[in-house]
Structures are given as structure tokens and as C-alpha cells.
Structure 1
């Protein structure tokens, strides 16, 4: 068992929307939100939030009821989200790029009373009113007159703040309920990383993702400025924007760091304003962390955890440059344990499934009690933990090294093969830009590893790369195939969709 000392009690709970009202009164002319040439100052944002809250109340949407939002990041998206919170209304920010059936299912499951979309969302027929948030006339027609004040709502910590739909990389989307109290814990620790009225946080991942929200809401709650990027992620454009706005904070996923560090003239950009950069959501290669530390000013923090909550590990990479192969130590007050296949805790130094417990756990999967029970593990005294499905091992210093997702582990001839080990070897080849290893069926071994590689210019033939790798791998690890792709299939927040790769190998995708 790995745990950290119980932290001091956090400050008394405050609703984020109430904190934002105080910032608007203290610094009305300071910029709070920016995207391209558009900006909202704190007084303007506060008034816009009031207008949204009043409209929801006028429509009869009560506190603890829900709305759903689906679309690309925009100022209107952010204002709708924040205004709903002021009314005590739960927000279900839905992922783009899903099927119509999945989208309709998520809207229905959330119980949303209204559905806000933009032009990127396919036509679908959920049985709720639908409003185009990117259509100024439609949005104006829905809103009550400017200056309308909402009735005051006293939000409670156990109320649902948002419902994040996450199925990882497989399965039907599950609604993860996160409370106002959980979000408050994120805000309460934001001082540790320099958030404040002078912070400028870059937002380059979707507002539908918990990855984004763990950076966006501390910036807002502490009275800083959030800068939303536009369109598809453009590495050179991101660096130029960060230089121009004097960014201090950023949350990025590993594939974004990879693309940024590969910009040929990266070193010409002035990034000295950065105080802290964050990363989460997908494996973050040690060599890439080292490159970020060497060339990009400011600290680098990696979070390991799940949208569902449970325990979190934190690696302050700038403080522990010899631990870049790990995801850090349990956060203060978080209890992380490792289990064997039978659900028993494993001895120190052994490999096991990661389970965690903290004050930031999800309440439940929305409307899915059976799935909730599957995700839970209880220790002997009856304390509730969340299962991650990840396999890892603690080192002698209490740092956690992840091996792989349990469902992605390959069992070949009765032996466990960890794809991450094979991917690390392949990344040593200079012609490999990106790689993912999956298990595919084998008549002889049950499963066997296959690699999907994004090659650089001048790469050898796939069979030659396979031979190169197999010379460096153990007998049970050897690759049965190497296939080249232009890019790996990824989710909105950069996770490799290994299910799609397995389907492609089988000829189904």
C-alpha cells in the first residue's frame, strides 16, 4: 500500500461561480476569456453568466437538473457552461466526433433539458430543445434581455457539477458524475502551481474533457485569464500565441508536446513567461519529458489518474529528473494500492492493478449502478476505491511506474507481455515518429504482438524494422508484424485507440 500523509483540511467550500463574481467586482476591466480577436473582460463575463443563469431559470430548469453542450471550444461554449453553474445546473459537455446514436444516447442519459450545439454536430433527434450556440441570432432569441439578474442559488458541495462521458478507448460512453466539492478541491490546491489574477492559461484541448477542466477552472476561480485556441491544433501557431499573450500555464496531452517539440524553430519562441505546464491523459515518454524540461522554461507536472477520480499520482518532473520513467508519487492524502487478479493487495515491489481513493472520486456512473459497482473495490475496513484498469509497480522511493492497461496486456503462450516495453524499444529507432503495439490473435500462442508505426522520412521497410526490433526484444516479446500508418487513431484528448488498431489488423477497419 502506498499512501501519503493526510493533508490539512481544505479551506471552507466556495462555489466557483461565486468566486468569479468576486473577481468581476475586484477587476472588472481585466481580460478573463480570450479567443482570437474576441475577448471578455471580467465584468462582461459576469454579466453574461448572469444572463445565461436567468434564462435557464426562466425556462424552468431547476438547480441539479442538466443541460448538454457539444461543439468546438468557443467563448459562447464557456459562457454557457459557466452560466449554468451559477444557476446550480449540471453541465454535460459531450465529445464531438461520436456517432449520432452515441450522441443521442448521451443526451438522453444525462437528462438534459436543453442541448446546445454548433455546426460541427451532426443532425440528430434527441427529445429535447436544441439551440445553435454559434448562431448569434438563435442564441440571442433564447436569452432573456441583457441585464436580467438570476435568483441567487446557494450551491452545495455534493451537487453534481458536471457529467463527463468517458468510455476510455472502448465501449459505450459512461456518464461520470463529478461534484462541486470535487472541483473545489482542484481549486484549493491551485495556489501550489502559481495560479492567480496574473495567470494566463492556454486551453488547447476540448472543454468536454476532464483534462481541460482541471486547468480551466483553477484559472477562472483564481481570477486569471483563459486563452482558448482556435480550430485544429497547430503547433507553430500555438507557440506564437503563447509568446504573444505571455502565457503562464498550459495543459497539453503527450501527442501535443511531441508535435510542439518537433517544430523546427521551437527555440526561437520566447516562452520565458511560463510558470507551469501540465500533462495527463496518455503515456508521456521519459525522453519527451526530458526534452520539454531542457528546452521549455517553467516547471512540468504530470498527473496520473482517471476522470472517475480515485487516487492521483503527481510527478513534478522539474524536481525529480531521475524519475521521468514514472508517473510520480500519490498526491497528498491520496491512497494508491496495487491488486492481484483475485483482488488482493500485492507485496511491495510486485506488479498489480492500480486502485485509488481520495476526496476527488466520482459520485457514480450516471444511471449505471452495475458499472459503478464494477469500478469499485473495498478494503477490509470498507473504504471505497476506484479501479483504474492500469497495471503498475511502486519503486523503493514510492514512485509508480505504469506497465500498461490491463486490457491491453498481451498474454502470449501464457506469459504477460507489456506493449509499453515494446513501444519503448521501437522508439529508440530514429525512423519511428510514433508507435503503438497491440495483441493480435495467434493460432500458436493465443496472442502475439503487432506494431503500428508512424515512420519518418527514409524509414526502412516494415519487415526490416521488425527484424531490428526483434533483435533487441526477448523471445516472448518478438513482434509478429509491423505496419506503417500515416498517423495513429486517437481520441479527442490524444489517447491511442488500440481497439481500432486491432480491428484494422483483422481487416475490419
Structure 2
């Protein structure tokens, strides 16, 4: 991938204007495929116009906010793009959120209208303070009890909205963090940022010939960094609302997918699929991965068995700096997340905010042309996320601990909040997890710190096993502790059927800590 600065030579155009142009230039070309139905660019453009016209009819003005909380569908896509064409910002929300958290995000965003489905509507009724915002059901025709169905809400066929001259600095979307305490933070990303992402994607093969298989949620930035470049550059999105391994592989083969962005647990499950090698995946050009730790073993297996390049990206929705690892080019660096991308800058700082040498271990901070504007209506949280160097340059704090090796590749140690302090020593769960994953019977591993009277904190491992495994928890603890340093040793190993994960594959360590019941005092 090239530097973001490449987009400087291309005049800014909003995604709404880009799709309108493509509807003229390649109107019959497939834009979106979902559950067997194909929508060409002319179809999608008309759907977007109906949504934008309806929003304008209802008084939605440029820079207002529209919220969407539903399962992915063609009308979800059209509403998202219709809001952008009308100049509004979109807050795509996770349906899996706690009802009170969801209500809080809707209030924080100041959403003028909420697009939802039946499950979300039911969940919001359980909120302590249900939102009073007008609702439109994406999965209902006509009026649906106390909400309006999408068909009844839409402007008539052939409707054309008033043109809005979208400015690059306007908010494109507000992505809410998956925070586990308090109100999730709304990360504001601009039209200019999304435009830059799309332009730099040309060098990864995005264009009219691209067929991108999307199987992660549309509320996630992980999804949007491949979804919007595909449409902005005239490619085809194959939308898979719910992921399963055989369904994914069948879609990839049927539509000759060329691009995909998956999270590590999806790669892990796909590579473990017994029928994986029976599918024709020869059209793949580029595969990407982000959002969670990606084991070196699985990376190597993907490169060996799945055609096309594999690139791991490390970064934050907030922006800052990013790293990329072109996996097939650096087989000796699979334990890293790659080098800092061109045009980006990363530094390391200590807990007091002092800059550290690059060979130190410290918190990662970064800056680039793709930094968030800030957290929506939370200036104090924005300030907490920022770090300024001696020259007054603004960086975004990642909350991750890492170090650079001698070749400039970034090695992640752990999330700052997940680091375990045992007997005054810093213990990095990722180090322990990598050791556990070397055991042939362990499929997944997550290490958390639990309270210890003797040490303050002590590490406990949660693991899942391969189907044929026969080992027990005490054997695993003994095996691992033989390979760990004295201060790293596990107090206990818990064998679980599965690890709790977010919708984009991140292990929810808070839930593991809360569920742990010690077998003895530590």
C-alpha cells in the first residue's frame, strides 16, 4: 500500500457523487450482491436517491446525524449512502450493544432518525430510558406498530434529492467504540479521510474488476475500510449478513471474489474447515486482516493454502498511525504487525508521557493524515486520547504496549489495560498466549490477570481445545509453566468451550475476568 499522500493529486469527490458518476459510466455493472440478488450501479443509485430524498423531505439537513442499527442488508447500504448524499453523518451502531448503552449512543449522537430492525426495536424497549427518536424499520413493509416500515418511508421511485455540496471536513460517520464501561466513545471520521482510504486502495487492486466479499458487520470500521473503496472505485460488494465457513467459501467461489477483509478468528475458522481445499479461490488478489491479534501459525497457513497476497494491518479506528505486514514477503516477521506505513509516524512513550527510544517498550502513539476529528461531544475524552510532542504535533494514543525490532517491525506486547503487574513485574498476556498456542492440542488462548493476595495480580489462562484433544487443565498448566519465566507462570488454566468475542472477533477479556472462579486462594 502506498502513502495516503497519493490522493493529493486527485480532486475530492463525495461517495454520493462518485456513485452517481458510476451509475452513468457503468450503470449495468454489479455494485451489490446480497443473498442471491444483484443490484447494478443504476439500481443502487436510484435506491440512494429515494433515501436521500426522503431524508430531505423529513427535514434532515447537512451535518445532521442519522443512526442505523440493524443486520446488514441492501436497504442498510442504501440508507447509509443516502444519508451521505444528503450531507448527513451516519452513526452505524452495533445491534449487540446493551440496550442502555445503545440508547446512550443514540442520544449522544443527537440522531434525528433511527433505522432499525425488529430485534433492535425489542431490545430498546428494555432500556432504562428508551430513545424517543423517530424510527424506521428496515425489515418491514408499510407501518410496523410504532415504527414506519421502509417501503412506506421511502420517497417515490424516480425521486431526485436536492444536490448537496459535501465538504471534505464534514463528518462522514461516527463509529462508536466497543467500550466495556461507561458510554462508548463516538469516533468522528471525515469525508476527506474516507476519500483518502479509497484512493490509496487503487494500489491494492481495487477498481471495477474487484469483487469484495464482506462478512463483517457494517457498523465496524474494519468493514468500512474495504466496503467504501470497493464502491467508490466501481467494484462489486458481495454482502454476507451472517458469517459461516462453508457459506463464505461458497460465495467466494461462486462470485470469483478478489478481495476480502477478515478478522483473525474468521481466518482461523476458515483454515480449520475440513473442506477448505475443495473450493476454488484462485481469483483472490488481496486479503486483509485487522482488529485483533493474528497468530503467526495461522498467517503462515493462509499464505500456504490461499491464493493472493495477505496483508495484516495494525491501527485504530481513531486513526493515528498504522502498520502493515505483507505476510508473504516477510515470513520471518510473522510475530510482528509490520512496519509503519509511508506517511505515518509512530513513537513510544512512558506512563508519564515522556518519549522513549525506539528499542524501548512503551505505549504506542501515532499521527497521520487519517486521524479522527475527535470523540463526538466528548471533548474531555478527546483530550485524554491525544499526546503532543515538543513541537506541538498531535498524536493519538493507542493504549497498546509495544516495541520496534532492529528492522523497524512493530512487536505488540499488549493492551495497556490488559497488562498484568505481578509482584511489581510487568507481565504481557500476549507472551503467555503465544507459548500456549504452541501446544498441539490448544486451539485458542487468552490470558487475564486476576487478584492475588501474594502478588497483587497473577495470570490465568482460558483455552479452547481441538476436537481430538485429550489433555486436561492441570497438564496444560504444567506444560506451559515449564516454558515460562518465574514471574509469568500461570496460576490456573481454564478449559472453555469457546471464548467470548465481539462481533468483529476481539476476545472480551473483561467477561473472562468476571466469569473466573478461583479454585483456591492465590
Q: 2:151 aligns with which of 135, 140, 145?
A: 140
Q: How far apart are 1:499 and its partner, in Å?
A: 0.6
SS of 1:34's partner is strand
Cα gap change, 1:6 to 1:77, in 2 (>3 Å): closer
Query: How far off its partner does 1:316 sit?
Result: 1.3
Q: Is the contact made by 1:169 and 1:491 (CA closer than 8 Å) also made in structure 2?
A: no
Residues in 2 aligned to 1:297 and 1:66: alpha-carbon distance in whole angstroms = 41
Alignment of 1:224 onto 2:235: yes
Deviates more, 1:118-127 or 1:192-201: 118-127
1:285 maps to which residue? 295
- Name the SS of the counterpart of 2:250 in structure 1: helix
Assess if the C-alpha contact under 8 Å between 1:376 and 1:387 holds in 2: yes
Residues 199 and 247, structure 1, Cα contact 8 Å, conserved in 2: yes
Aligned equivalent of 2:515, options 490, 504, 509: 504
For 2:324 and 2:469, locate their aligned partners in 1 and report how far apart those are by CA, in whole Å. 38
Report Cα offsets for 1:16-50 as digits up to 9, x if no partner: 11111111111111110011122211101001111
1:440 and 2:466 correspond: no
The DSSP-based 3-state class of the residue aligned with 1:136 is coil
Hey, what's the Cα distance between the residues in 2 that align with 1:207 and 1:101?
A: 21
Any idea what SS the aligned residue of 1:258 has? helix
> Is the Cα–Cα contact under 8 Å of residues 10 and 185 in structure 1 kept in the other structure?
no
Distance, in Å, in 1 between the alignment partners of 2:325 and 2:24 is: 36
TM-score, scaled to structure 1: 0.97
* 1:10–1:314 Cα change, 3 Å: farther
- Distance in 2 (CA, whole Å) between partners of 1:84 and 1:11 is 24
Residue 356 (structure 1) aligned with residue 340 (structure 2) = no
The answer (yes or no) to whether the contact 2:104–2:183 under 8 Å persists in 1 is no
1:169, 1:496 within 8 Å by CA — same for their partners in 2?
no
- Deviating more after overlay: 367-376 vs 313-322: 313-322
Higher relative contact order (Cα pairs below 8 Å, separated by 6+ residues): 1
| Partner residue in 2 for 1:391 | 401
Alignment partners' CA distance in 2, 1:47 and 1:280: 33
Cα drift, residue 83 of structure 1: 0.9
2:222 is equivalent to residue 206 of structure 1: no
Out of 412, 435, 440, the residue aligned to residue 402 of structure 1 is 412
- Counterparts of 2:77 and 2:416 in 1: how far apart (Å)? 36
Q: Supply the distance in 2 between the matched residues of 1:320 and 1:472 (Cα, whole angstroms).
A: 27
- Give how far 1:455 is off: 1.6
* CA deviation vs aligned residue, 1:258-311 (integer Å, no higher than 9, x gap): 000001121111100000001000001111111100000000111100111111
Out of 412, 427, 430, which is 1:417 matched to? 427
- Counterpart Cα distance in 1 of 2:9 and 2:275: 43
Q: Secondary structure at the match of 2:139?
A: coil
Whether contact under 8 Å (2:190, 2:372) holds in the other structure is yes
1:193-240 CA-partner distances (Å, limit 9, x unpaired): 000101100110000000000000000000001011133x21111111
Aligned to 1:333: 343
1:53-68 to structure 2, matched below 5 A, reads 53-68=52-67
For the Cα contact (< 8 Å) 1:169–1:498, is it kept in 2? no
Change (3 A) 1:6 1:190: closer
Q: Which runs of 4+ in 1 moved over 4 A?
A: 4-8, 168-171
In structure 2, the residue matched to 1:106 is 105
Can you list the C-alpha shifts for 1:480-504, whole angstroms capped at 9, x where unaligned? 0111111100111100010111101
CA 501–6 in structure 1, closer or farther in 2 if over 3 Å, else same: closer
Q: Which moved more, 1:51-60 or 1:130-139?
A: 130-139
Shift of 1:175: 0.6
Q: Secondary structure, in 3 states, of the residue corresponding to 1:333?
A: coil
Contact conserved, 2:4 with 2:197, CA < 8 A, in 1?
Answer: no
Question: 1:136: how far off?
Answer: 2.8
1:41 maps to what in 2? 40
Say which SS state the counterpart of residue 461 (structure 2) adopts. Answer: strand
- State the SS of the aligned residue for 1:277: strand
C-alpha deviation, 1:113, in angstroms = 0.5
- Separation (CA, whole Å) in 2 of partners of 1:399 and 1:271: 30
**Root-mean-square deviation (CA), in Å?**
1.4
Scaled by the length of structure 2, the TM-score of the pair is 0.94
Whether contact under 8 Å (2:347, 2:358) holds in the other structure is: no
Contact map agreement 1:70 1:95 (CA 8 A) in 2? yes
Question: 1:131 aligned to 136, 152, 161, which one?
Answer: 136
1:309 and 2:308 aligned? no
Distance 1:222 1:409 in 2: 41
Q: Secondary structure at the match of 1:112?
A: coil
The answer for unaligned runs of 5 or more in structure 1 is none
2: CA distance, partners of 1:323 / 1:171: 37
Give the Cα separation in 2 of the matches to 1:341 and 1:17.
Answer: 44
CA distance in 2, matches of 1:506, 1:75: 45
Residue of 455, 459, 478 corresponding to 2:489: 478
Measured in 1, the distance between the counterparts of 2:246 and 2:509 equals 28
Distance 1:239 1:5, change over 3 A: closer
